[in-house]
């Protein structure tokens, strides 16, 4: 797609000094932290919430409603930012998120909480894509790596700090403060962004919104997320509800593609996928989300059941991974900004992630915490190399006028990868654990619901032989999911080898200074 005058205008009118960028980033970092931290903080409070509000059979929807809304809203917010300006849409998403947070804290029953969580998720979808799209318009790709590295470092902080903060709030205050804590932070982010983003283009506001595409997008995303949430847990994979949702997903997806091909302003411009680098970066985003979230989610199972760590300590023991991810994300971004070269980063990141996951797949019941920590450093380094680089490549491969939709698509792919990873790897974990119990303990070892209801405290009360049997089964399940995670990450390594180096755009770099510069993505035939 060739650049337009509007693209050029957008790329040059919104120049920010380094000081202005750093001030604005203080608000953007808080907004990103809110979006990523929320589910992690709420998780430890769920048992208390159920005890207070009742509705145990609806517990999963407290999380599912949030995920559904945020996943479906992410690409829509991105496109709205393209049409109506980043500042107004981003501020609107903050307001909706804060409104949802306040209402969640005031909920009087489980139905209200689920509905308000969905409202909160709608805002969270705008926060995640809005932060990266705003940064994408404030900073040219040539200098963006060092800033995006800081933003992506928020992800591991949220993954580790969320459960710790949620547990502390629940134990010492009230579960309602797991939602109310968003309000003062959100107000700060709102104020900072209101004043610091005024230089961003405001958009015309005259374009027609693709409501049909938005509806179809929401339909097939919702159906797919429900499949991954319900399949193998509430319903058998071959059951009528799951099959029906699969059919709905396929039909709605095909209809969505047909609509997006013919409308003037599609919610998700399919043209961006014609760019080879964008498609490859999107695939890497999906794979990194699948391997990272899928693997890390189940690591505490090994730490608590096999290594004997408490729930709080298992969160603290993930610190080596978080620190490594932060160092490599920030350091990698600085290197990219200094050199302008990024192609090596996804290759190194994919390789490290595959090696790290492969190392976890070798763990046994006698693996020490120190050894596990070393494996975490390797995996965290791979995560840090990939997280911000894939977004940078996706944005640099898209026209400036479509940067919001491109950011939304890349974020959506990472979220979907994580959701599918948790679901599918969870099914593998449960199946392998049950099979191991049956194989080594007899047909009755995995019956009676004892496996699904096992807790670390209950495990300590079992006889030595039974305890050893369960720990072996957990280890077999963990090894199975990390083996599959390593295979998926290895596929990502192969994909990363096909990424081409396209010089990063700069707002103020004249063409003569960079003879090989490609101001906008090259046309589709050249990229394919």
Q: Which residues lie below 8 Å from residue 231, measured CB to CB, with a gap of 6+? A: 237, 242, 423, 427
Least confident of 174-178, 365-369, 371-375: 174-178
Neighbours of 474 (CB within 10 A): 25
CATH number of 270-504+516-528: 1.20.1250.20
Question: Which pLDDT value is given to residue 524?
Answer: 45
> pLDDT digits over 369-427, tens only?
889 999 989 998 998 888 778 878 887 777 766 676 777 778 778 877 877 777 677 77
Domain boundaries, the chain: 1-208, 210-264, 270-504+516-528
| Contacts with 403 (C-beta within 8 Å, 6 or more apart), sequence order | 82, 133, 136, 137, 395
Q: How far is CA 225 from CA 71, 191, 364, 413, 416, in A?
A: 9, 34, 33, 12, 8
Dist CA 24 CA 135 (whole Å):
9
Out of 47-56, 238-247, 415-424, the most confident range is 238-247
- Kindly report the CA angle at 48 between 52 and 311, in degrees rounded to 5? 175
User: What's the CATH number of domain 1-208, 1.20.120.430, 1.20.1250.20, 2.30.30.100, 2.40.50.100?
Assistant: 1.20.1250.20
> Is 270-504+516-528 in the same CATH topology as 1-208?
yes
For 70-127, the pLDDT digits (tens) are 877 887 887 788 778 888 888 999 999 999 999 998 988 888 888 898 899 889 888 8
Q: What is the mean pLDDT of the chain?
A: 78
Q: Is the pLDDT confidence value at 141 over 70?
A: no
Q: Is the pLDDT of residue 254 over 80?
A: yes
Alpha helices (H) along 344-402: 344-360, 369-396
Q: What is the pTM of this model?
A: 0.70
The confidence score (pLDDT) of residue 248 equals 94
Asked whether the beta carbons of 351 and 476 are under 8 A apart, the reply is no
Cβ proximity of 373 and 317 under 8 Å: yes
Question: How far is residue 475's CA from residue 472's CA, in Å, rounded to a whole number?
Answer: 5
């Amino acid at each position: 797609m060739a650049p337009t005058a509007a693209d050029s205008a957008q790329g040059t009118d919104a120049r920010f000094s380094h000081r202005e960028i750093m001030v604005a980033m203080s608000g953007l970092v808080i907004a990103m932290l809110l979006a990523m931290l929320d589910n992690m903080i709420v998780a430890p409070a769920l048992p208390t919430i159920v005890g207070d509000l009742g509705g145990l059979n609806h517990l999963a929807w407290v999380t599912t409603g949030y995920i559904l809304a945020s996943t479906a809203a992410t690409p829509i917010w991105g496109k709205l930012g393209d049409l109506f300006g980043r500042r107004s849409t981003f501020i609107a998403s903050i307001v909706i998120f804060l409104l949802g947070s306040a209402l969640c804290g005031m909920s009087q029953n489980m139905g209200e909480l689920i509905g308000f969580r969905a409202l909160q998720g709608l805002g969270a979808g705008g926060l995640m894509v809005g932060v990266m799209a705003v940064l994408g318009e404030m900073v040219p790709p040539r200098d963006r790596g060092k800033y995006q590295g800081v933003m992506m470092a928020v992800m591991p902080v949220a993954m580790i700090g969320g459960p710790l903060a949620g547990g502390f709030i629940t134990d010492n205050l009230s579960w309602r403060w797991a939602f109310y804590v968003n309000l003062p932070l959100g107000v700060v982010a709102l104020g900072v962004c209101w004043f610091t983003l005024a230089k961003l283009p405001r958009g015309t506001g005259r374009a027609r919104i693709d409501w049909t595409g938005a509806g179809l997008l929401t339909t097939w995303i919702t159906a797919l997320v429900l499949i991954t949430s319900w399949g193998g847990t509430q319903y058998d994979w071959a059951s009528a509800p799951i099959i029906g949702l699969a059919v709905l997903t396929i039909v709605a997806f095909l209809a969505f593609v047909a609509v997006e091909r013919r409308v003037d302003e599609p919610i998700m411009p399919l043209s961006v996928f014609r760019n080879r680098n964008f498609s490859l970066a999107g695939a890497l985003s999906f794979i990194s989300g699948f391997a990272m979230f899928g693997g890390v989610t189940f690591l505490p199972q090994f730490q608590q059941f096999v290594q004997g760590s408490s729930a709080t300590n298992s969160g603290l023991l993930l610190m080596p991974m978080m620190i490594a991810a932060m160092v490599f994300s920030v350091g990698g971004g600085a290197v990219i900004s200094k050199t302008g070269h990024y192609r090596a980063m996804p290759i190194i990141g994919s390789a490290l992630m595959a090696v790290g996951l492969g190392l976890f797949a070798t763990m046994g019941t006698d693996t020490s915490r120190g050894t596990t920590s070393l494996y975490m450093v390797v995996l965290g380094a791979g995560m840090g190399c990939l997280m911000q680089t894939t977004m940078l490549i996706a944005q640099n491969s898209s026209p400036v006028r479509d940067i919001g939709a491109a950011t939304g698509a890349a974020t959506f792919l990472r979220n979907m990868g994580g959701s599918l990873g948790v679901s599918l790897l969870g099914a593998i974990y449960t199946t392998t654990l049950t099979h191991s119990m049956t194989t080594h303990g007899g047909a009755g070892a995995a019956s009676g619901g004892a496996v699904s209801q096992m807790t670390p405290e209950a495990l300590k009360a079992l006889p030595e032989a039974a305890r050893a049997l369960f720990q072996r089964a957990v280890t077999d399940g963990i090894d199975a999911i990390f083996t599959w995670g390593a295979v998926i990450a290895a596929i990502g390594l192969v994909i990363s080898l096909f990424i081409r180096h396209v010089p990063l755009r700069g707002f103020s770099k004249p063409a003569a200074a960079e003879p090989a510069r490609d101001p906008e993505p090259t046309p589709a035939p050249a990229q394919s």
